């Protein structure tokens, strides 16, 4: 195919500083994978911020176009499972890590990374879910598979105003759970109530170092997005046979906790990694999200263009994001 050019956000290191700018790049810079996709929408995830700002352990080589999420239309395919014009979603694997990602108009990926756009979801809505929504939904899926029902008790979400947390609150509330949102931004209480939080607790009011190995039971389940001492705290407050799912590390990558929630209350801690989830599990959660788990996501999403993306990356780096950022790529 004759090379062509398109717009992309490019992260690069210039004189020891990482910068992000919108550049015109060539299709010849894309890897030679089986499926070329014209990206219509992407979304901003925590990992994208880490990659775009050069944090260690994410991207090995710069310049790179980040973006672990993309939805769009197959432009060219040598994989028999996909044909020109198919609507598709790609989330995680190596997209946006060391493979040019969804913050550019075109991506080239192996067919094994692709999920056909589920019926009843638009390309736009699929990126209102994206990796953060899929991760929250995988956590909720585990909790339901444990047999936990809304009548069993209240649930808790940490990192509540973030992309994973806000999606988890809205989904749990839609499923009938009473949700307590633990947040560092109590000034966003109106937002948190509007998406389904029943109670709001400031994480700055919690005595996380309280030494008791078990605290009085408050929740039957939780979706933890932050890790560290806050995860330890909510584990010690979890009721008999409860489950906490964890996916994030913004509050710390160590978990120093007590054995008692596990051996005296039968509490489970379940890790979520949406990046390497099996395709069968991804499809099953995407199908739920396009069917019985549909809810109005407009209030947790903000839509931006590529030009606005560097500012939004900075906001995420400073823990100032509220909800989910969806990027609309220019499509000619």
Among the candidate windows 30-38, 69-77, 224-232, 281-289, which touches ligand NAP by CB under 6 A? 224-232
Work out which of 29, 98, 146, 249 binds ligand NAP, going by CB under 6 A. 249
User: Residue 208 interacts with ligand NAP (CB under 6 A)?
Assistant: no
Please give the Cα distance from 189 to 201 (Å, whole number).
9
Among 316, 326, 327, 329, binds ligand NAP (CB under 6 A): 316
* DSSP label of 99: B
Find all residues with CB under 8 Å of 98, minimum gap 6, and list them: 59, 60, 61, 64
Please say whether the beta carbons of 77 and 68 come within 8 A: no
Other CB atoms within 10 Å distance of the CB of residue 218 = 18
Q: CA torsion, points 222, 227, 233, 236, in degrees to nearest 10?
A: 60
Tokens of 8: 């992309």
Site string for ligand NAP, 93-132 (x = CB under 6 A): --------------------------------------xx
Residue 162, interface with ligand NAP (CB under 6 A)?
yes
CB of 80 to ligand NAP, least distance (A): 30
Q: Kindly state the smallest distance separating residue 207's Cβ from ligand NAP, in Å.
A: 15
Whichever of 72 and 248 has its CB closer to ligand NAP, that residue is: 248
183 contacts ligand NAP (rule: CB under 6 A)? yes
CB 189 within 8 A of CB 211: no
Q: C-alpha distances in angstroms, 160 versus 27, 98, 268?
A: 39, 29, 21
- The contact set with ligand NAP (CB under 6 A) reads 45-47, 131-132, 135, 159-165, 183-185, 203, 225-226, 230, 247-251, 272-275, 316, 319, 321
């Amino acid at each position: 195919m004759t090379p062509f050019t398109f717009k992309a956000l490019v992260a690069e290191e210039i004189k020891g500083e990482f910068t992000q700018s919108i550049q015109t790049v060539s299709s010849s810079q894309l890897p030679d994978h089986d499926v070329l996709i014209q990206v219509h929408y992407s979304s901003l995830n925590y990992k994208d911020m880490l990659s775009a700002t050069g944090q260690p352990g994410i991207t090995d080589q710069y310049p790179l176009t980040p973006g672990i999420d993309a939805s769009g239309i197959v432009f060219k395919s040598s994989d028999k499972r996909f044909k020109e014009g198919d609507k598709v979603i790609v989330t995680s694997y190596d997209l946006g890590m060391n493979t040019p990602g969804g913050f550019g108009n075109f991506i080239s990926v192996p067919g094994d990374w692709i999920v056909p756009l589920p019926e009843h979801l638009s390309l736009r809505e699929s990126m209102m879910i994206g990796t953060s929504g899929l991760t929250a939904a995988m956590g909720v899926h585990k909790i339901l598979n444990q047999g936990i029902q809304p009548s069993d008790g209240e649930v808790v979400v940490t990192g509540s105003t973030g992309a994973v947390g806000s999606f988890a609150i809205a989904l749990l509330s839609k499923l009938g759970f009473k949700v307590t949102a633990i947040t560092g931004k109590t000034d966003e209480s109106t937002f948190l109530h509007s998406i389904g939080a029943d109670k709001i607790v400031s994480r700055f009011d919690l005595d996380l170092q309280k030494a008791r190995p078990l605290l009085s039971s408050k929740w039957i389940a939780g979706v933890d997005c932050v890790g560290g001492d806050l995860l330890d705290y909510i584990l010690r407050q979890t009721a008999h046979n409860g489950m906490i799912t964890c996916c994030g590390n913004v509050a710390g990558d160590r978990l120093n906790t007590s054995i008692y929630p596990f051996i005296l209350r039968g509490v489970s801690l379940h890790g979520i990694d949406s990046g390497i989830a099996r395709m069968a599990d991804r499809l099953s959660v995407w199908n739920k999200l396009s069917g019985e788990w549909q809810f109005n996501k407009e209030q947790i999403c903000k839509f931006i263009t590529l030009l606005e993306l560097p500012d939004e990356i900075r906001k995420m780096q400073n823990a100032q994001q509220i909800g989910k950022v969806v990027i609309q790529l220019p499509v000619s």
